[in-house]
């Protein structure tokens, strides 16, 4: 789109990667393990395949309207009222996910690093940084994402070190498939929460379409492949480091195995690790804020972008302050995950169906 | 041989425009003059003087920033006016008088210190060698080098242009003089290479200068604040230098230099963050050493920014991070110190800034006393009085030293000041606070632009090719193309300068 033609496919890939990797990465092995036990890694891989299917569908949908994002073609497909409704609901969805991420990350920071600091201060720190980045243009956001992506390799490196110097036991993975098909399939649902973020493809498509439609699919798939493999790797490392009895009681296995690592110069590497992981959380927050901002900025072109971002940032902040107990947070989590099916499965399918039946599509202007 | 062909293919690209025009056909005097004007891209330091000699019009063309104007007056113009007729060789007094028919030869000779005589109705161009402007040779005190040029800019704008012309002896080097400031009428010059610098950049900076309406412009600092993209940013967005070789090097990258009368400081624009870590010496050292030094500088940047903050975070929050053995010794040094680490660090940092500020304006011998009093007396006494712990003194000292490693003075001061908010963040939120602080800084820097160019290039946006001259310095023959952030009109730098290796092997 205007002034943003310098966006590359690597930026798209890292945008999706940074959105997907976030709060879930630390707890993913635990939550998947609690359902599908030793076969958790199979669930993660299967979840990756499901996500890949969804990405392909989003791409097919986006390809029909190459120069527009979902916010624009929804109106074209289901009429003004319906389209506006869909757009508003996506904007809300962005805010809801933002506050969900905020809640969970704050909870983890509070248990691991800043035990005595009030909740709202930590939230303010995270949200403030996310808003500061989120009010910028997409190209600036992408640039920052590319730089901070270096931290992911830090995560991989530490996991590899754990694999090498730890007395790991590969037999915890055996026998493969012992927990049964249904449990593995149920585990997919758990892994899916950490995989959220790929839906941003629906809104990013027009920004990257000048690279070629195929390259958009390729970047998104590569992002998904990378994240799936990374998650599967982390799950395997967690599974073989801790015995099944241990794994039941540690909600953030990744942090636990990092914690037990002993390097000569840094004693408690997990504290540094959590602090760096915050960067991934901030990028995820920013992406969802960007989603909400995009939705409004398209309709009301007169309002400044930063005002919109600040508004949504503070609403997500306030929502995140409401639940007090962990049970309430769990409830909110379940609720958001359930509504996410609506936004990730139902609406895109519906739009795609309408687009196919009524043969509504647009050729992009030859770029 | 193939590499030889390649070289032949590329070089004419630059010279083609002139070579083609040299068809020995009859040109009138006006046409010749306009040829030279265009050949020098209408630079403002091209001067033309018309005389009558042998009852014909004679035009003297010269570049006033290259040759000594007083000699021109006494040895050329005065004799011509006095005698009025005769052979030009007998009239002027100069050690070398050449005649040529080729306009392009005359063009490059003019840049090289000749003045040119054109006569009406004559094909012959007379080139007279002139003495150059004499400049004082002194090294800028704030940018010393061990190996390399020891020449610094003076305070006279013509001399400064001369120093640049000495290093970039090309007719393409264009100088645009102008003056600014209602009352002060300060003379300034924009210097750039016409065939290299991106015209859009040039237009942008000229537009911005046109907006400047001020009563007085007293120093390049005024220009900086009027022209930079974000005036509230702690980072300098234009590079200050007093070294002609640095200016020449940057002009060759496609940058623009802004010179000002009465100031030896030249502004280079646009620059990126990493320009502040490059010195002209890097290219004189071996690539290994150059890379190592570059690396040290970048580490020192990080140390200046984060070290005190990290220490505070470790001491007040996350002491689990450092090994147990060190904790004991730190703890024992902290035992009798009454202040929290933040106050401790602030006291020491402020003392350091006091010493630095006091030492700047004092004459050298007294400044040394300040060093002794400040460094030795205060340093030891403060620890013995238990006002500040031992380790904090070490931390602050390392911070100070590493801040002085950064070659640019403004950047090093900015970074030291940026350390303070980071220290507060660290005191409030520990390591997490530092990460948040650095993240905010990164976001700021990656959205910051200098004259519309990304400040953090080549990291933001990531450009692997340009990293060759950023964190490390690869051998010069590997940098075959210019970085693309400035969008220069051509990218070519070298073509296989070590092509001889192949030939020698085959022998």
Q: What is the pLDDT of residue B24?
A: 55
Residues of chain B neighbouring A282 (CB-CB closer than 8 A): 439
Rounded to two decimals, the pTM is: 0.89
Question: What pLDDT is stored for residue B6 in this prediction?
Answer: 44
Nearest CA in chain B to A269: B321
Enumerate the residues of chain A whose CB falls inside 8 A of the CB of residue B433.
125
> What separation in angstroms does the CA of B504 have from each of B1, B54, B477, B498, B501?
12, 59, 18, 11, 5
For residues A272 and B320, what is the distance between their CA atoms, to the nearest angstrom?
10
Chain A hits for B324, CB-CB cut-off 8 Å, are: 267
Q: Let me know how many helices (H) and strands (E) chain B has, helices first.
A: 19, 12
Chain A residues with CB under 8 Å of B439 CB are 129, 148, 278-279, 282
Q: How far is B446 from chain A (nearest CA, A)?
A: 7
A-interface mutation test, from B306, B432, B437, most A Cβ less than 10 A away: B432
Instruction: Give chain A's count of helices (H) and strands (E).
Output: 16, 0
Q: For B316, which residue in chain A has the nearest alpha carbon? A: A114
CA distance B297 to B211: 37
For residue A109, give the nearest of B318, B432, B447 by CB distance.
B432
Cα(B441)–Cα(B320) distance, integer angstroms: 26
Chain A contact present for B401, CB below 8 A: no
CB A43 within 8 A of CB A189: no
Contact: A272, B321; criterion CB under 8 Å = yes
Q: Do A117 and B429 touch (CB under 8 A)?
A: yes
Q: Choosing among B315, B321, B471, which should be mutated to test the A contact, i.e. which has the most A CBs within 10 A?
A: B321
Q: Which helix (H) or strand (E) holds A269?
A: helix A269-299
Q: How far is B468 from chain A (nearest CA, A)?
A: 17
pLDDT at B433: 92
Q: In B, which residues are within 8 Å of A264 by CB distance?
A: 323
Residues of B whose CB is below 8 A from A278: 432, 435-436, 439
Cα(A235)–Cα(A24) distance, integer angstroms: 12
Contacts of A266 in chain B (CB under 8 A): 321-322
| Cβ separation B431–A272 shorter than 8 A | yes
Of B323, B431, B442, the CB nearest to A267: B323
Q: What 3-state DSSP class applies to B63?
A: strand
The pLDDT score that the predictor gives to residue B84 is 81
Which of A12, A275, A309 is the best residue to mutate to test the B interface, defined by the most B CB atoms within 10 Å of its own CB? A275
Asked if A267 and B328 touch (Cβ cutoff 8 Å), the reply is no
- A279 and B460 within 8 Å at the Cβ level: the answer is no
CA distance readout (Å), A58 to A51, A67, A179, A366, B246: 10, 14, 32, 21, 52
Task: Give the gap in angstroms from C-alpha A265 to the nearest C-alpha of chain B.
Answer: 6
Q: In this complex, do A275 and B435 lie within 8 Å of one another by their Cβ atoms? A: yes
Distance from CA of B437 to the nearest CA of A (A): 9
Chain A touched by B366 (CB under 8 Å): no
B434 chain-A contacts, CB cut-off 8 A: 275
Interface contact B452, partner A, CB < 8 A: no
Q: Per-residue confidence of chain B (507 residues) as pLDDT tens digits?
A: 444 444 444 444 444 444 445 555 677 888 888 888 888 888 888 888 888 888 888 889 998 888 888 888 888 888 888 888 888 888 888 888 888 888 888 888 888 888 888 888 888 888 888 888 877 778 888 888 888 888 899 888 988 999 999 899 888 899 999 999 889 899 999 999 999 999 999 999 999 999 988 898 888 889 989 998 888 999 999 999 999 999 999 999 899 999 999 899 999 989 989 989 988 888 888 889 999 999 999 999 999 999 999 999 988 887 888 888 888 888 888 888 888 889 999 988 898 888 888 888 888 888 888 888 877 888 888 888 888 888 899 999 999 999 999 988 889 999 999 999 999 999 999 889 999 999 999 999 999 988 888 898 888 888 888 888 888 888 888 888 888 888 888 888 888 888 888 888 765
Interface contact flag, A113 B436, Cβ < 8 Å: no
Q: How many CB atoms lie within 10 A of CB B407?
A: 21
Cβ-defined contact of B318 to A129 (cutoff 8 Å)? no
Using alpha carbons only, give the angle A137, A314, B425 rounded to the nearest 5 degrees.
80
CB contact under 8 A, A272 and B447: no
CB B126 within 8 A of CB B98: yes
pLDDT tens digit string along B198-223?
Answer: 999 999 999 999 998 889 888 888 99
Name the residue facing B446 among A10, A144, A271 (closest C-beta).
A144
Contact at CB, B318 and A113, closer than 8 angstroms: yes
Nearest to A316 by CA among A94, A85, A89: A94
Q: Which residues of B touch A269 (CB under 8 A)?
A: 321
> Are B439 and A109 a contacting pair at CB < 8 A?
no
Q: How far is CA B323 from the centre of its chain?
A: 44
B440 vs A114, A132, A139: nearest CB? A132
Give contacts of A112 with chain B, Cβ < 8 Å: none
pLDDT of residue A53: 92
Q: Measuring CA to CA, which residue among A186, A219, A234 is closest to residue A50?
A: A186
Annotated domain spans of chain A: 10-357
The pLDDT assigned to A334 comes to: 87
- Residues of chain B in contact with residue A6, where contact means CB-CB under 8 angstroms, are 461
- For residues B423 and B345, the answer to whether their CB atoms sit within 8 Å is yes
Residue B28: its pLDDT value, please? 82
Q: Read off the DSSP letter of residue B477.
A: G
Q: Of A143, A268, A278, which has the smallest distance from its Cβ to B446's Cβ?
A: A143
- Say how many CB pairs under 8 Å bridge A and B: 81
pLDDT 10s digit of each residue in chain A, 367 long? 344 457 888 888 999 999 998 888 888 888 888 888 778 888 899 999 999 999 999 988 888 888 888 888 888 888 888 888 899 999 999 999 999 999 989 988 988 888 888 899 999 999 999 999 998 888 889 989 999 988 888 888 888 888 888 777 777 777 777 777 788 888 888 888 788 888 888 888 888 878 888 888 899 999 999 999 999 998 888 888 888 888 888 888 888 888 877 777 777 888 888 888 899 999 999 999 999 998 888 778 788 888 999 999 999 999 998 887 878 888 888 888 888 888 888 888 888 888 888 876 665 444 3
pLDDT in tens, A107-121: 889 888 888 888 999
Kindly list the residues from chain A whose CB atom is less than 8 angstroms away from the CB atom of residue B272. none
If interface means Cβ-Cβ distance under 8 Å, which residues of chain A face chain B? 6, 10, 109, 113-114, 117, 125-126, 129, 132-133, 136, 139-140, 143-144, 146-148, 264-269, 271-272, 274-276, 278-279, 282
Q: Which of residues 422-451 of B touch A (CB under 8 A)?
A: 429-436, 439-440, 442-443, 446-447
Q: Is domain A10-357 classified as CATH 3.40.50.300?
A: no
What span, in angstroms and rounded, lies between the C-alpha atoms of A254 and A257? 5
Q: How far is B436 from chain A, CA to nearest CA, in Å?
A: 7
> How close, in Å, is residue B265 to chain A by CA atoms?
33
């Amino acid at each position: 789109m205007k002034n943003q033609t310098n966006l590359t496919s690597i930026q798209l890939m890292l945008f999706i990667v940074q959105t997907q990797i976030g709060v879930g990465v630390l707890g993913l092995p635990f939550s998947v393990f609690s359902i599908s036990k030793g076969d958790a890694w199979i669930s993660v891989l299967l979840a990756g395949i499901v996500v890949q299917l969804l990405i392909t569908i989003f791409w097919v949908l986006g390809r029909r309207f190459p120069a527009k994002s979902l916010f624009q073609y929804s109106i074209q497909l289901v009429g003004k009222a319906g389209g506006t409704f869909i757009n508003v609901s996506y904007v809300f969805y962005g805010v809801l996910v933002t506050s969900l991420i905020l809640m969970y990350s704050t909870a983890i920071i509070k248990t691991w690093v800043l035990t005595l600091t009030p909740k709202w201060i930590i939230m303010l720190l995270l949200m403030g940084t996310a808003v500061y980045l989120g009010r910028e243009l997409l190209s600036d956001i992408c640039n920052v994402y590319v730089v901070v992506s270096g931290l992911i390799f830090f995560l991989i490196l530490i996991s590899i070190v754990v694999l090498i110097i730890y007395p790991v036991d590969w037999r915890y993975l055996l026998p493969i498939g012992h927990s049964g098909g249904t449990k593995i399939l149920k585990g997919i649902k758990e892994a899916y929460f950490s995989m959220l973020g790929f839906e941003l493809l629906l809104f990013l498509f027009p920004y990257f379409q000048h690279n070629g439609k195929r390259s958009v699919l390729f970047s998104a798939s590569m992002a998904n492949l990378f994240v799936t493999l990374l998650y599967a790797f982390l799950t395997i490392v967690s599974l073989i480091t801790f015995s099944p009895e241990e794994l039941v009681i540690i909600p953030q296995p990744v942090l636990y195995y990092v914690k037990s690592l002993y390097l000569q110069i840094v004693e408690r590497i997990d504290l540094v690790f959590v602090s760096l992981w915050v960067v991934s959380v901030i990028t995820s927050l920013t992406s969802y804020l960007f989603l909400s901002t995009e939705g409004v900025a398209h309709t009301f072109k007169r309002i400044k972008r930063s005002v919109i971002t600040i508004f949504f940032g503070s609403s997500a902040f306030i929502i995140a302050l409401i639940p007090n107990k962990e049970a309430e947070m769990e409830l909110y989590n379940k609720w958001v995950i359930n509504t996410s099916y609506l936004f990730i499965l139902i609406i895109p399918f519906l739009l795609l169906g309408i687009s196919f039946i009524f043969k509504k599509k647009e050729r992009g202007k030859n770029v | 041989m193939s590499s030889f062909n390649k070289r032949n293919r590329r070089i004419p690209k630059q010279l083609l425009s002139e070579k083609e025009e040299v068809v020995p056909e009859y040109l009138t005097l006006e046409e010749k003059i306009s040829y030279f004007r265009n050949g020098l891209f209408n630079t403002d330091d091209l001067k033309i003087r018309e005389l009558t000699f042998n009852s014909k019009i004679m035009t003297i063309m010269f570049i006033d920033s290259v040759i000594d104007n007083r000699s021109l007056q006494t040895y050329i113009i005065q004799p011509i006016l006095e005698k009025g007729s005769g052979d030009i060789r007998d009239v002027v007094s100069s050690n070398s008088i050449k005649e040529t028919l080729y306009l392009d030869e005359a063009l490059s000779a003019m840049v090289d210190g000749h003045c040119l005589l054109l006569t009406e109705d004559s094909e012959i161009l007379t080139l007279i060698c002139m003495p150059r402007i004499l400049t004082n040779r002194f090294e800028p005190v704030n940018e010393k080098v061990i190996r390399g040029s020891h020449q610094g800019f003076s305070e006279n704008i013509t001399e400064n242009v001369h120093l640049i012309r000495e290093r970039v002896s090309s007719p393409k080097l264009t100088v645009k003089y102008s003056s600014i400031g209602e009352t002060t009428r300060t003379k300034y010059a924009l210097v750039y290479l016409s065939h290299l610098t991106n015209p859009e950049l040039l237009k942008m900076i000229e537009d911005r200068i046109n907006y400047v309406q001020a009563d007085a412009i007293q120093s390049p600092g005024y220009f900086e604040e009027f022209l930079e993209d974000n005036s509230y940013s702690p980072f300098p967005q234009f590079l200050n230098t007093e070294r002609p070789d640095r200016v020449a090097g940057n002009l060759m990258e496609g940058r623009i230099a802004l010179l000002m009368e009465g100031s030896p400081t030249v502004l280079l624009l646009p620059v990126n963050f990493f320009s502040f870590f490059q010195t002209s010496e890097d290219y004189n050292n071996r690539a290994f050493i150059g890379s190592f030094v570059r690396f040290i500088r970048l580490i020192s940047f990080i140390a200046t920014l984060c070290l005190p903050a990290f220490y505070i975070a470790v001491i007040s929050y996350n002491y689990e991070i450092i090994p147990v053995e060190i904790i004991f010794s730190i703890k024992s040094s902290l035992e009798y110190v009454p202040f929290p680490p933040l106050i401790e660090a602030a006291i020491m940092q402020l003392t350091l800034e006091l010493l630095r500020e006091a030492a700047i304006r004092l004459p050298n011998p007294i400044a040394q006393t300040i060093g002794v009093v400040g460094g030795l007396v205060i340093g030891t006494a403060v620890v013995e009085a238990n006002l500040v712990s031992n380790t904090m003194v070490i931390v602050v000292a390392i911070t100070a030293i590493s801040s002085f490693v950064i070659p640019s003075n403004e950047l090093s001061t900015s970074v030291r000041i940026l350390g303070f908010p980071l220290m507060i963040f660290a005191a409030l939120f520990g390591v997490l606070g530092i990460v948040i602080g650095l993240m905010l800084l990164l976001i700021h820097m990656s959205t910051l632009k200098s004259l519309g160019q990304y400040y953090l290039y080549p990291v933001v946006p990531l450009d692997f090719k340009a990293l060759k001259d950023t964190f490390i310095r690869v051998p010069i023959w590997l940098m075959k193309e210019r970085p693309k952030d400035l969008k220069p009109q051509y990218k070519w730098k070298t073509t296989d300068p070590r092509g001889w290796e192949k030939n020698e092997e085959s022998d």
